[in-house]
Amino acid sequence: AQSVAQPEDQVNVAEGNPLTVKCTYSVSGNPYLFWYVQYPNRGLQFLLKYITGDNLVKGSYGFEAEFNKSQTSFHLKKPSALVSDSALYFCAVRENTGFQKLVFGTGTRLLVSP
């Protein structure tokens, strides 16, 4: 069965510094990978996804993620963090068989300090 691990409960970064939120996955076959962000009292917003092709995926709000098949990782990155990026980030992987089931990680809270 597929699974996703987000090894850090919280990531702290200063505004203007680069940020990385880590995600590793386990799935048989080729993965479909997603990142979502949850702001306080809001639903999940889609950031980006990897289906196939270029290993570097660009998404909303200046975020990007790098797919690394050998390390089974899909880390979320941003070159310069903003205080407004502070939120809860979820990585998710699509099941390799059947349909649409998204399996989520436990989430990583990102805190960007001024």
The site for other proteins (CB under 8 A) is made up of 32, 34, 36, 41-46, 49, 51, 90, 92, 94-95, 99-102, 104-107
**Residue 100 or 114 having the CB closest to other proteins:** 100
**Residue 30 or 80 having the CB closest to other proteins:** 30
- State the DSSP H helix or E strand holding residue 24, giving kind and residue range, or none if neither: strand 24-26
Residues 1-13 as b or e (16 or more Cβ within 10 Å = b):
ebebebeeeebeb
Helices (H) and strands (E) in the chain, counts: 0, 12
Alpha helices in 1-114 (DSSP H): none
How far apart are alpha carbons 42 and 50 in whole angstroms? 24
The nearest distance, CB 96 to other proteins, in angstroms, is: 8
How far apart are alpha carbons 26 and 39 in whole angstroms? 27
The nearest distance, CB 76 to other proteins, in angstroms, is: 15
The nearest distance, CB 94 to other proteins, in angstroms, is: 5
The nearest distance, CB 14 to other proteins, in angstroms, is: 26
**Residue 14 or 51 having the CB closest to other proteins:** 51
**Residue 34 or 112 having the CB closest to other proteins:** 34
